[in-house]
Amino acid sequence: MKLNLTNNYELIQFVKSKPLISIDAVIVGYTEGTGKFKGKAFGALLVALMNKEKNFVILSNVGTGYTEDFRKELYQKLKKIQADGDKFLNINWVSPKIVIEVVCEETLVKLRPTFSYKKGYYKRVEDDYGATLRKPRFVRIRNDKSVNPTDLRLTQIPSFIQRVKSLQREGD
């Protein structure tokens, strides 16, 4: 807050806000809900994008932005498309069929866990450059997007390519 100099009793409030980054990502897994959601809804969704080898590079867990009813409804859909995979945290893997829009405040480009998906199984492969999402929030399901490298490429993240190139130069 800042004191207005013309009137000592009037306070002016400033609101600091950052532009949000919108990313379309595929759901590859979820965590079980806890507390009142235990056994009834998911806790958070694990989302990923695809690299040029068509492997899934994990972005983040997205645990906010949902209504209670939506959590329960989507949980039932996710249980129907469960998949198997290498052990990774406490993730319940699902077939990559649902695309969602996520917003976040910023992204941090770094090496991220990467998985191939074949015949209903996620297998961990060599980590690849991806992005960690800061304060991710669910916006909506993208029924107009399909799970393909064109719609879900890592390059949709602002300045992703330039940052990866600079990280690769630093490693040389």
Query: Which residues pair with residue 171 across a beta bridge?
Result: none
Is the pLDDT at 169 greater than 80? The verdict is no
Rounded CA gap, 163 and 158, in Å? 9
Average of per-residue pLDDT across 158-170: 64
Q: pLDDT band at residue 151, thresholds of 50, 70 and 90?
A: confident
Rounded CA gap, 172 and 164, in Å? 13
Q: Domains in the chain and their CATH numbers?
A: 22-167 (2.40.50.140)
Specify the residue for token string 């997007």: 145
Percent of the chain with pLDDT over 70: 81
pTM of the model: 0.82
In sequence order, the 6+-apart residues with CB closer than 8 A to the CB of 164 are 109, 129
Rounded CA gap, 23 and 158, in Å? 10
Q: pLDDT band at residue 129, thresholds of 50, 70 and 90?
A: confident
Q: pLDDT band at residue 110, thresholds of 50, 70 and 90?
A: confident
